């Protein structure tokens, strides 16, 4: 687990002996207060809204494995370092601003939220109403770490973005855990919207839309997306694996084709096509233009 030195969150209050009764003393005291307030503003530690937490006593806790969760989060992107502070709240530190991706933008937005989203970490053995959990429980704030770790990277990112967006959409979420929390449908839609936005960013296609979600039974749950102009569909599919773990993978079905390919292969194909198109553009331009300082200038 990564630990990061943090500044104290609260400045010590001015000592009582500074509150002298004389006028001069009062001025000094007021100045001290002002200075303190100024320092507090300048050194303000942003609120940390995403917490890793143990479930209840006697429950199938994965809390002691929270380091595995943080490591997996860190493996998604190179630009930001994530850690846990001494209160098990997620922290972020930008290592390279130029390589920040949508995953980082969202994670930093969640972490800096003024609300609080606990993630009560359980193993795959944890049951809710006698049933194994698929990834997370909104009402109980559980996150099944085994399920999360069984997901592909993109599935892992989409799940994390989905349930954090969902939890933070509920005012005072943390105080409502364990109740039948009102507002699920709206929060769930916000989670789907954030996932869709993430897919658009990863694929580079602003026309991707969410189309459906379906529990197909036997642990198989599918979330569908589509790009009409791009003429392909995306399926985020959860399946039951060995030991009852339910992991997610993302697939693409291009219009007119019968076989789904992995999103990873699809992204590779798109990158190759984009490079080929760029080379062709430059070849065509090269016939009529010279380049100077990165700008095109007319040929003499």
Q: Which of residues 26-85 bind Zn ion (CB under 5 A)?
A: none
Q: At which residue do the structure tokens 């000094």 appear? A: 28
Segment contacting Zn ion (CB under 5 A): 1-9, 95-103, 147-155, 180-188?
180-188
Q: Which stretch binds Zn ion (CB under 5 A): 39-47, 159-167, 219-227, 285-293?
A: 159-167
Q: Verify binding: residue 240, Zn ion, rule CB under 5 A.
A: no
- Count Cβ atoms within 10 A of the Cβ of residue 241 and give its class: 0-12 exposed, 13-18 middle, 19 or more buried: middle
Rounded (10°) angle between helices 102-111 and 184-203: 150
Interface region with Zn ion, contact rule CB under 5 A, candidates 52-60, 111-119, 188-196, 271-279? 188-196
The minimum distance between CB 63 and Zn ion, in angstroms, equals: 22
Specify the length of the chain in residues.
Answer: 300
First to last CA, the chain: 61
The DSSP annotation for 82-125 comes to EEE-TTSBEEEEES-GGG--HHHHHHHHHHT-SS-EEEEEE-TT
C-beta of 80 vs 164, nearer to Zn ion: 164
Smallest distance from Zn ion to CB 188, Å: 4
Q: Smallest distance from the beta carbon of 137 to Zn ion, in angstroms?
A: 10
In this chain, which of 55, 118, 126, 191 binds Zn ion, going by CB under 5 A? 191
Of positions 2, 65, 188, 200, contacts Zn ion by CB under 5 A: 188
Number of residues near Zn ion (by CB under 5 A): 3
Residues in a beta bridge with 65: none
């Amino acid at each position: 687990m990564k630990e990061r030195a943090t500044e104290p969150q609260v400045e010590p209050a001015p000592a009582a002996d500074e509150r002298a009764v004389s006028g001069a003393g009062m001025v000094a005291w007021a100045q001290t207060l002002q200075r303190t307030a100024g320092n507090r503003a300048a050194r303000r530690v942003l609120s940390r809204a995403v917490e890793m937490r143990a479930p209840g006593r006697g429950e199938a806790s994965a809390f002691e494995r929270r380091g595995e969760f943080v490591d997996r989060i860190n493996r998604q992107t190179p630009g930001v370092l994530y850690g846990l502070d001494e209160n098990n709240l997620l922290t972020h530190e930008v290592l390279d601003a130029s390589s920040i991706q949508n995953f980082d933008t969202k994670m930093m937005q969640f972490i800096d939220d003024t609300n609080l989203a606990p993630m009560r970490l359980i193993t795959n053995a944890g049951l809710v109403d006698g049933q194994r959990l698929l990834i997370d429980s909104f009402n109980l704030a559980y996150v099944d770490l085994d399920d999360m770790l069984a997901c592909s990277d993109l599935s892992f990112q989409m799940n994390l973005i989905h349930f954090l967006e969902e939890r933070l959409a509920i005012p005072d979420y943390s105080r409502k855990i364990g109740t039948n929390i009102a507002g699920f449908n709206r929060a769930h839609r916000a989670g789907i919207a954030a996932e869709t936005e993430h897919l658009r960013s990863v694929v580079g296609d602003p026309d991707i839309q969410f189309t459906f979600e379906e529990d197909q039974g036997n642990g198989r749950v599918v979330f569908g997306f589509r790009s009409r102009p791009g003429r392909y569909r995306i399926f985020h599919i959860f399946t039951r694996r060995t030991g009852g773990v339910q992991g997610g993978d993302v697939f693409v079905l291009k219009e007119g084709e019968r076989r789904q390919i992995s999103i990873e292969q699809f992204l590779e194909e798109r990158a190759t096509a984009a490079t080929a198109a760029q080379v062709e553009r430059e070849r065509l331009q090269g016939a009529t233009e010279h380049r100077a300082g990165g700008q095109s200038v007319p040929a003499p």
